[in-house]
Structure 1
Amino acid sequence: MDWFDAGDYDIARLVLQRGVAAVYVIAFVSAINQFPALVGENGLLPAPRLLARTRFRELPSLFHWRYSDRMLLALAWFAVAVSAALVLGLPQLGPPWLPMLAFLMLWAVYLSIVNIGQVFYGFGWESLLLEAGFVVAFLGSDEVAPPLLIIIYLRWLLFRLELGAGLIKIRGGREWRDFTALDYHHETQPMPNPLSRLAHRLPRWFHRCEVLGNHIAELLVPFFLFAPQPVASVAAGILIGTQLWLIITGNFAWLNWLTIVLAFSAIDDTTLRALLPVLPESHAPADAPVWFVVIVLAGTVLLVALSWWPARNLLSRHQLMNASFNRYHLVNAYGMFGTVTKRRLEVVVEGCDDAEPGEGAVWEAYEFRGKPGDPMRMPRQFAPYHLRLDWLMWFLALGSRDTRWFETFLVRLLEGDARTLRLLRRNPFPTGAPRWVRARVFLYRFSTGAERRATGARWVRSEIGELVEPVELGSVGRR
């Protein structure tokens, strides 16, 4: 069936399936390490409370049957094992239904987590991983050629991801239209990495070129993903290059890595072998069984039908950013940084063990793993791992309206809760909980070259005010 087989995309399928599976490994390990403390039975926003007031048809999740932290961890570890098997290519050695079943299982388990994860799982790359995981399930196994319809759909997914990001910027802040956005972005992005300061200090003409390159990559290049080869491969290569620059200069969880994986849907084997002659030749696959063709066609029809809403969103003047149009997170709208923050505000949480928190009291700062705190400390590289609490702290400094989780976070610090404290880099009270906690807001900026040489500091900060005045256990949320 020549119309069904993509033909020259065996290597692309290998990268797509194993790459998406590798991201699932990271996502489930993140859930194992963070979900119980953030959304577990005794979490900052306990999932059982959400499950008690919602139904499955509103928020599809396996945990509507029953939730416990132990069940969450068991499912997540099982999903890690399945994901690792897919990374190794083991299910792909069997019949087409085997990797299909494995990926659909991963999608169902992660959907169950995302749908009850609340604000801690409200990021666009969660929906992107769910959609990508669902789609690559229909790529089949090594026994059959990659289905052409699925390869084309994956390009449509990449097209929506890139064009949506470009359009939200043009429709968003003026800084994207006057080419000044990158004068601020490297300094004010949610979680800088070790090279962000160097990127911020590059000349302004370079930042203008960054913005221009971004607009070309997101607004023009995606259309060439559907061009004949080798043009489509060149377009995919340009997108990969832009994503690598974002990886080098920032921490955006697995967004950039997953985008690179999806770009391989537009790179054919001929182009890859021209670049890497050591790659082996593909074997001649058997004809796809009728049942597999029927399932792929049915899946494609479903995905195309659901594409109406995100396609309309791309054309809307009121474009939604990182929105899902159905409760199963299939065929979503993507895009981020429609506006760029021009000042970096940081919430610094401190504890005190003195009897009274007044003048002369000694305050010690809690240190988060990824967000700036100690001005002397170099930002770390964490992506593709996702530090969810650190990201929410960035939104908190911007004036996030829902602060329930933060109030509970302060309570957990006053209780000395071990699970919560494990999310932090430094607990200044290792032998017991403090009597008081408070939260202050600081303005941060990268140090200049002269300041760095004189003090060794990577950040310069000045206090703006107090977000939460000193509170003790039992009084949090009362003031």
Structure 2
Amino acid sequence: MEWFAAPEYWLARAVFQRLIAALYLIGFLTAANQFRALIGEHGMLPVPRFVAQVPMRASPSLFHLHYSDRTFAAVSWAGTALAAAVLAGAGDHVPLGVAMAFWAVLWVLYLSIVNVGQTWYAFGWESLLLEAGFLAAFLGNERVAPPVLVMWLLRWLLFRVEFGAGLIKLRGDSCWRDLTCLRYHHETQPMPGPLSWFFHHLPSPLHRVEAAANHFVQLVVPVALFLPQPVASVAAALVVTTQLWLITSGNFAWLNWLTIALALSVVDAPSASALFPLPDPPAFHAEPLWFEVLVLALTVLVVVLSYWPARNLVSRRQLMNRSFNRLHLVNAYGAFGSVNRLRLEVVVEGTAEPVLGAGTVWQEYGFKGKPTEPRRMPRQVAPYHLRLDWLMWFAGISPVYARSWFAPFMARLLVNDPVTLKLLHRNPFPDEPPAHVRALLYHYRFTTWRALRTTGAWWERRLVREFLPPVTLRDLAYLVAHHPARPPVKPPGKPP
């Protein structure tokens, strides 16, 4: 079928697949490095407890068949190795069916992690990576031309990401409508980057330009993705430019890089050759019938599943970052439907003093990405995902977001749990665990230019209230009754 192939997108396919493989690699690395403290057998939200309560049909995962920390580590490192191989081009040096199997394995392994990750994996970019990775499997490899239907499905995905984000902003917060949200966003976003302080101090008219440009790129430009070339490529270039702006102004894990990968899939070779010299395209073979059948079946599946996200787009009660099926296919996306006006941060402290008093000396724990020490410059961590830091930001918004995991986190600090401490930047008690830990809620604000020059402080903060009163190991013993860091402690009569 001549209409089936889109050879002019050979470069777009190559770039898209390499970027998706790179993001899979980062996702699996993140899982391997953090899972023991978060969802391991003795983690804050253990997978064994989750799979005992949630059936396989409700959350499909290989870990319903068997779970151990060793098995999870094997899955994570296997996914990392396979993603690295695909990134290096392994998929183009094997038969078409094997290349598709590579992508299928990556998708199954990462789906298995996400579906048992609970709160730690409740982010829209997890579903986006799974959906984009699933489509990547049907793009084929260098042996066949990219299927035109899959290229259109990628545009539909990019449209939902951008247009959905644009609509949720207009519907969700008045500051997007009056173009004032960027006065607050750079300061209150989940994890500011090293340039966020400077973005925050841009003149107010430029913040309005930022907001207006965002509306244009997310509400007008996505429609142009479906227009003929080179208009579609120009629209994609505008999306890429906006995403690079977001990358420099904050840390949003791999969301922006995923969006860039989708945008680059829209750019055809003739449009790209007008700007850059390109190598000759590979010599394509005829598509096997089974491949054409699979692509047609995929297209029908996506069209059917698109009913729910399409209805969500036109709904006045639009949902943000919603999966309508357990396989995270054809989802609804969006970001920052509301913008916080204040930055409230939870600061965790400990003391070695067994008896508390007015003169008790408390020492802060430092986090790798989220603001804690006022003089520490915000770090660039994306596309790596610091899951604990992100959840700490949500905890500052409301204790409800921390209900399931915060007490277990504090309990692990009271025993100097090594895998939990690996998630932190600084442990003030390297030799012996603290006798008490507590959490305080602070209002953080970026300092002024003068304060930064004279004090070196990026943040100023004011105590708002106590978030968690001082607790001891005995108070939280029921959460660490079986832990190698300390002998078991007899649990109290009732949990606090």
Letter in 1 for 2:7: G
TM-superposed CA distance for 1:94, in Å, is 2.1
Counterpart in the other structure of 1:375: 374
Counterpart in the other structure of 1:418: 418
Counterpart in the other structure of 1:395: 394
Tell me, yes or no, if the aligned pair for 1:94 and 1:143 is still in contact at 8 Å. no
Tell me, yes or no, if the aligned pair for 1:94 and 1:142 is still in contact at 8 Å. no
TM-superposed CA distance for 1:454, in Å, is 2.1
Q: Partners of 2:66 and 2:282 in 1: how far apart?
A: 46
Counterpart in the other structure of 2:74: 74
* Paired residues for 1:248-327 under 5 Å: 248-277=248-277, 279-327=278-326
Q: Partners of 1:126 and 1:95 in 2: how far apart?
A: 29
Q: Partners of 1:382 and 1:57 in 2: how far apart?
A: 35
Q: Partners of 1:400 and 1:435 in 2: how far apart?
A: 24
Letter in 2 for 1:368: F
Correspondence 1:111 to 2:111: yes
Q: Partners of 2:453 and 2:28 in 1: how far apart?
A: 42
* Paired residues for 1:188-203 under 5 Å: 188-203=188-203
Tell me, yes or no, if the aligned pair for 2:347 and 2:439 is still in contact at 8 Å. yes
- Give the TM-score, by structure 1 length: 0.99
Which secondary structure does the structure 2 equivalent of 1:184 belong to? helix
Q: Partners of 1:71 and 1:284 in 2: how far apart?
A: 41
* Paired residues for 1:401-440 under 5 Å: 401-402=400-401, 403-440=403-440
TM-superposed CA distance for 1:333, in Å, is 0.4
Q: CA-atom RMSD, angstroms?
A: 0.9
Q: Partners of 1:444 and 1:471 in 2: how far apart?
A: 25
Q: Partners of 2:43 and 2:286 in 1: how far apart?
A: 51
Q: Partners of 1:424 and 1:233 in 2: how far apart?
A: 42
* Paired residues for 1:215-234 under 5 Å: 215-234=215-234
Counterpart in the other structure of 2:174: 174
Tell me, yes or no, if the aligned pair for 2:103 and 2:133 is still in contact at 8 Å. yes
Counterpart in the other structure of 1:140: 140
Segments of 5+ residues of structure 1 without an aligned counterpart are: none
Which secondary structure does the structure 2 equivalent of 1:350 belong to? strand
The one-character-per-residue Cα deviations of 1:83-107 (angstroms, maximum 9, x if unpaired) are: 0111011122222212211111111
Counterpart in the other structure of 1:57: 57
Letter in 2 for 1:360: G
TM-superposed CA distance for 1:318, in Å, is 0.5
* Paired residues for 1:2-151 under 5 Å: 2-151=2-151
Which secondary structure does the structure 2 equivalent of 1:266 belong to? coil
Corresponding residue pairs, total: 478
Tell me, yes or no, if the aligned pair for 1:226 and 1:232 is still in contact at 8 Å. yes
TM-superposed CA distance for 1:415, in Å, is 1.2
Segments of 5+ residues of structure 2 without an aligned counterpart are: 477-493
Tell me, yes or no, if the aligned pair for 1:169 and 1:339 is still in contact at 8 Å. yes
Letter in 1 for 2:119: V
Which secondary structure does the structure 1 equivalent of 2:350 belong to? strand
Counterpart in the other structure of 2:342: 343
TM-superposed CA distance for 1:36, in Å, is 1.4
Tell me, yes or no, if the aligned pair for 2:171 and 2:337 is still in contact at 8 Å. yes
Tell me, yes or no, if the aligned pair for 1:309 and 1:325 is still in contact at 8 Å. yes
Tell me, yes or no, if the aligned pair for 2:124 and 2:333 is still in contact at 8 Å. yes
Q: Partners of 2:46 and 2:114 in 1: how far apart?
A: 13
Q: Partners of 1:240 and 1:400 in 2: how far apart?
A: 36
- Give the TM-score, by structure 2 length: 0.95
Tell me, yes or no, if the aligned pair for 1:92 and 1:98 is still in contact at 8 Å. no
TM-superposed CA distance for 1:54, in Å, is 1.7
TM-superposed CA distance for 1:474, in Å, is 2.1
Tell me, yes or no, if the aligned pair for 1:152 and 1:265 is still in contact at 8 Å. no
Counterpart in the other structure of 1:459: 459
Tell me, yes or no, if the aligned pair for 1:173 and 1:339 is still in contact at 8 Å. yes
* Mean Cα deviation higher: 192-201 or 398-407: 398-407
Letter in 2 for 1:296: V
Counterpart in the other structure of 2:330: 331
Letter in 1 for 2:456: G
Runs of 4+ in 1 over 4 A off after TM superposition: none
Letter in 1 for 2:30: S
Which secondary structure does the structure 2 equivalent of 1:404 belong to? coil
TM-superposed CA distance for 1:263, in Å, is 0.5
Tell me, yes or no, if the aligned pair for 2:142 and 2:282 is still in contact at 8 Å. no
Letter in 1 for 2:179: F
Q: Partners of 1:160 and 1:72 in 2: how far apart?
A: 32
Tell me, yes or no, if the aligned pair for 1:154 and 1:262 is still in contact at 8 Å. yes
Q: Partners of 1:171 and 1:358 in 2: how far apart?
A: 50
Q: Partners of 1:67 and 1:94 in 2: how far apart?
A: 32
Which secondary structure does the structure 2 equivalent of 1:102 belong to? helix
Using the aligned pairs only, state the percent identity.
Answer: 56
Which secondary structure does the structure 1 equivalent of 2:95 belong to? coil
